[in-house]
Amino acid sequence: MKRLTAAVDAVLGTLIVLDFGLLIVCVFWQAFSRYVLGAPTTVTDELARFLFIWMALFGGAYTYGKGRHLAIDLLTGLLSGRKAKVLHVAVVLIIGAFALLVMVYGGQQLMMKTLATGQLSPVLRIPMGYVYSAIPVSGMLILFYGVGFLIDILGTRDTGGDAPTGDPRALATTQAGHAERD
């Protein structure tokens, strides 16, 4: 699973960097054409908007997968051992339920309805369903990372040691470190 996660991380990270680079070029060209040439282009404006949507959603999935997402760890800092493990599992399951129901199912419904109606973007004339496909795809990526987290968390033994603050991977790493010392 770790090799697959590393491969997904590499591909997703590369896509995000490429997306961000293209977004910078679009925004730069938009500003240049507006203020220097006096003739703003609408293509780069719309393309930048769509690139930002994809970057934000894929970046959110990537950040979650790396355990660098925004988290309030007040409660996890107070718990240790089995209680911390249960809390981490609950958090991963809640995030997974949101990703499955809202992002994958709801996003897929939105994408399919938009494709069925034939809605096109105003300038680029691409089907808007393709733009909206970033929602279910990023939801599936979040589910993928969540499964990896659950495998890591449930695959570690309960040591009763300090609970790590942060992501589930840290919990597994900390508990593995406790196991090596025992």
Domain boundaries defined on the chain: 2-181
- Backbone φ, ψ for residue 119 (5° rounding): -65, 125
Which stretches of the chain drop beneath a pLDDT of 50?
A: 160-166, 172-182
Q: What is the pTM of this model?
A: 0.81
Distance (Å) of CA 88 to CA 9, 40, 108, 170: 22, 49, 28, 10
Our CA dihedral for 99, 104, 110, 114, rounded to 10 degrees, sits at 140
Query: What's the confidence (pLDDT) of residue 53?
Result: 96
Residues 77-112 have pLDDT tens digits of 787 888 888 988 999 999 999 999 999 999 999 999
Query: What's the confidence (pLDDT) of residue 176?
Result: 41
Query: What's the confidence (pLDDT) of residue 115?
Result: 96
